[in-house]
C-alpha cells in the first residue's frame, strides 16, 4: 500500500488537525465538521495530483487554451456517519463524482472491550473499472475500512482504490495494508501511536461521529 501522510510536510493542514484534536475547540460541532471537510479538501487536492489527465481545449471569450483535465470516473464512497463531513470535503473538489454510502458502526459487546462491525445500509453505483475513493475519518483497528470494502465487492472491481482518512493508528494501518492490494493508496492527515483498550486512537481526537453529530444512544 502507498501511504501518503500529508502532515509529514508542514502546511495549513496542521491548523485544521490541531483544531479537531483540541478538547476545547472541538466542542463547537459546526467548526469540527467544517474542519473535517477542509481536511477532505486538502487530501482530495493532494490525491488529484496522482490521477489521470487528458488535454481539453477551452474556448474563452478571447481565444482558446489547452488544459489537462481529470479523466478518471470517480466513485466517492463514505462510511456513515462520521464520514459525512469528509465526504462533503472530497465532493467539493470532485464535482462530477458518483457517490456511494455505507453504514458501519462498532457494536460493543457486553464487556465493552471487544466489538463487531455492523454494516446495515449500502447504496453504491457500479464500481467496475472506476476510481474508488473510500473515505472514513478514523482508521483505528482498521476493521471498518476492511469490512466496508468487503461489502462493496459485489459492485464491481475498481481500476484503482484511494482510501482517505483523517487520523489513523499505526496498528490499524498495518491491518488495512494486509487486506488491500499493494497498489492501493492511503491518503491520511495524521498517524498516531496507539489504540487504547476500547479501540480508540491515542492521542486521536475522541469519537468523530459524536463530535460531528452528537452522542448516540447505545442500544
Ligand X SMILES: O=P(O)(O)OC[C@H]1O[C@H](OP(=O)(O)OP(=O)(O)O)[C@H](O)[C@@H]1O
Ligand Y SMILES: O=c1cc[nH]c(=O)[nH]1
Nearest alpha-carbon partner for 168 in 124, 132, 198, 200: 200
Joined together, the cell numbers standing for residue 137 give: 475519518
Does the protein bind ligand Y through residue 140 (CB under 6 A)?
yes
Nearest alpha-carbon partner for 47 in 108, 117, 170, 135: 135
What does DSSP assign to residue 130? -
The smaller minimum CB distance to ligand Y, of residues 89 and 204, is found at 204
The smaller minimum CB distance to ligand Y, of residues 45 and 200, is found at 200
Q: Total residues contacting ligand X (rule CB under 6 A)?
A: 21
The smaller minimum CB distance to ligand Y, of residues 133 and 208, is found at 208
The smaller minimum CB distance to ligand Y, of residues 106 and 130, is found at 106
The smaller minimum CB distance to ligand X, of residues 73 and 78, is found at 78
Q: How many residues does the chain have?
A: 219
Handedness of CA 111, 26, 174, 184 (dihedral sign): positive
Q: For residues 104 and 144, give the distance between their C-alpha atoms in angstroms, rounded to a whole number.
A: 6
CB of 167 to ligand Y, least distance (A): 7
Does the protein bind ligand X through residue 171 (CB under 6 A)?
no
Q: Could you tell me if 75 and 134 are in contact, meaning their C-beta atoms sit under 8 angstroms apart?
A: no
Q: Could you tell me if 147 and 103 are in contact, meaning their C-beta atoms sit under 8 angstroms apart?
A: no
- Which of 40, 100, 158, 209 touches ligand X by CB under 6 A? 209
Does the protein bind ligand X through residue 140 (CB under 6 A)?
yes
- Binding part of the chain for Mg ion, among 8-16, 23-31, 56-64, 199-207 by CB under 5 A, reads 199-207
CB of 174 to ligand X, least distance (A): 12
- Binding part of the chain for ligand X, among 23-31, 37-45, 130-138, 185-193 by CB under 6 A, reads 130-138
Q: For residues 111 and 116, give the distance between their C-alpha atoms in angstroms, rounded to a whole number.
A: 12
Binding mask 155-194 for Mg ion (x = CB under 5 A): ----------------------------------------
Cα dihedral: 2, 5, 6, 8 (round 10): -130
* Helices 29-48, 13-21: inter-axial angle, 10-degree rounding: 150
Residues within the interface to ligand X (CB under 6 A): 79, 81-82, 104-106, 117, 136-144, 172, 199, 207-209
Residues within the interface to ligand Y (CB under 6 A): 82, 138, 140, 200-201, 204, 207-209
Amino acid at each position: 500500500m502507498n501511504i501518503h501522510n500529508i502532515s509529514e510536510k508542514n502546511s495549513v493542514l496542521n491548523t485544521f488537525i490541531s483544531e479537531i484534536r483540541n478538547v476545547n475547540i472541538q466542542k463547537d460541532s459546526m467548526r469540527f465538521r467544517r474542519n473535517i471537510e477542509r481536511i477532505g479538501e486538502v487530501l482530495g487536492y493532494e490525491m488529484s495530483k496522482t490521477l489521470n489527465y487528458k488535454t481539453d481545449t477551452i474556448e474563452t471569450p478571447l481565444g482558446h487554451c489547452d488544459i489537462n483535465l481529470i479523466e478518471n470516473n470517480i466513485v466517492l464512497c463514505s462510511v456513515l456517519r462520521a464520514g459525512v463531513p469528509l465526504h462533503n470535503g472530497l465532493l467539493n473538489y470532485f464535482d462530477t463524482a458518483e457517490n456511494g454510502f455505507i453504514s458501519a458502526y462498532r457494536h460493543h459487546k457486553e464487556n465493552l472491550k471487544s466489538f463487531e462491525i455492523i454494516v446495515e445500509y449500502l447504496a453504491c453505483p457500479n464500481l467496475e473499472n472506476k476510481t474508488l475513493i473510500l473515505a472514513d475519518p478514523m482508521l483505528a483497528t482498521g476493521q471498518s475500512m476492511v469490512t466496508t470494502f468487503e461489502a462493496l465487492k459485489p459492485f464491481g472491481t475498481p481500476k484503482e482504490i484511494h482510501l482517505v482518512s483523517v487520523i489513523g493508528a499505526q496498528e490499524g494501518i498495518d491491518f488495512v495494508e494486509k487486506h488491500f492490494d499493494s497498489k492501493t493508496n492511503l491518503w491520511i492527515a495524521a498517524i498516531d501511536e496507539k489504540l487504547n483498550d476500547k479501540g480508540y486512537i491515542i492521542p486521536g481526537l475522541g469519537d468523530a461521529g459524536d463530535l460531528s453529530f452528537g452522542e448516540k444512544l447505545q442500544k
